[in-house]
Amino acid sequence: MAAVKRPLYVAGAGAVTPAGLNARQTIAAIRASLSAFEEKILTDPFGAVQIVSRIPTHYQLRRTEGEWLVNMAARAMGEALRTGEIEPEATAILLTPPESFRNHPAYSDIAPPDFLAAVIAATGQKFHAASRAVDGGAAASIGLLERAVELVEQQDVEQVLLGGVDSLVNDMDFARLGRAGRLKGADNAQGLVPGEAAAFVRLTREPEGKAYVHAAIHGVGLAQEQDSVLSERYSQGRALLGALRDAVAGTGPSEPDIDFVISNGNGERYSGWEQLITRPRFYRTRREILPTAYPAMTIGDIGAAGGALALMLAADSFLRDYAPGPTVVCELASENGLRAAAVMARMARR
């Protein structure tokens, strides 16, 4: 996978995260380096304390895990849809729910094949029949950008809502991550903080409105890491390196053009090691510094929602003129080993 056939434009976004109940609040919290972390008392082992990043909400919205994820996704999709005037019938949804291998408790309420239909029903809208849910986590969401290009080239699809929804704040994920020694705590500084979120970006084939500046996606790379965090070995960065190289292989921005990075790195030792090995092999142009944003420092590891959140943050930095430069690469890693990269640029209307 390399450069997309034509640029895709990020025309809007929607989100609900521990740092904010919409995209603007979430981005403001990340920019301000705020922390949405809190301590949660576990029932197993009873009385244990775990650092988490969870959305403050009334307990009735969390009656079941499935209902909670559906409500989050519907809210974020509705916000993204309202940033434009295109009808839902001309809008295709590309959704990444929690990865199937995790046996997420939400799937006890809603079977994976029925998850997208449940989300659409919760919005009260009717979307294009090309809408799909795809397994694979945050990196899979970025990999769907090529599919998004194909969809918006169809006459009856005017835009795509691309995003994900996930929550690691549940007993099932606590147990498996705890057994693997991957949770952040008093005895493990290099662990992840379980988070939860829904995030969607609204993608169009052409820039919207009369604004002078637009955010465009030019290249995408996708690769599978054999030594995932679930394996017995540390990653040597081969898949992430391949994804980065593929993302800049087209006619768009290349490696020397990249000014900053947005990563879903979650603070785990595994994640830090992979990035430490990969980046000197990819970024060969001399730089005094490579600014890197880690949203997980504010909202924890949000799983499948991380892909769209990275695109949302990159687009906002261009449109509101606080980006360190005109070109960014979003680096995404999924727990099952999938790696993705997307190159975005600030485009000025001629």
Q: Which amino acid is at 134?
A: V
Exposure string of 20-36, with b = 16+ CB inside 10 Å and e = fewer, is bbebeebbebbeeeebb
Average pLDDT of the residues of the chain:
94
The parent domain of residue 131 ranges over 3-204
Looking at the fold, whether 197 and 233 belong to one and the same domain comes out as no
Residue 319's domain is classified under what CATH number? 3.40.47.10
Looking at the fold, whether 36 and 62 belong to one and the same domain comes out as yes
Total domains, the chain: 2
* pTM, rounded to two decimals: 0.96
Looking at the fold, whether 193 and 228 belong to one and the same domain comes out as no
- Tens digits of residue pLDDT in 272-317: 999 999 999 999 999 999 999 999 999 999 999 999 999 999 999 9
Lowest mean pLDDT among 10-24, 42-56, 153-167, 245-259: 42-56
Domain annotation covers residue 304? yes
**In sequence order, what DSSP letters do the residues of 198-250 get, joined into one string?**
EEEEEEESS--SS-SEEEEEEEEEEEE-SS-TTSSS---SHHHHHHHHHHTSS
Residue labelled with tokens 């890491």: 225
Give the end of a domain, one of 204, 224, 253: 204
Domain annotation covers residue 209? no
Looking at the fold, whether 166 and 303 belong to one and the same domain comes out as no
- Tens digits of residue pLDDT in 176-230: 999 999 999 988 999 999 999 999 999 999 998 888 899 999 999 999 999 999 9
> What angle do helix axes 269-282 and 238-247 make, rounded to 10 degrees?
50
What is residue 57's predicted lDDT score, i.e. its pLDDT? Answer: 86
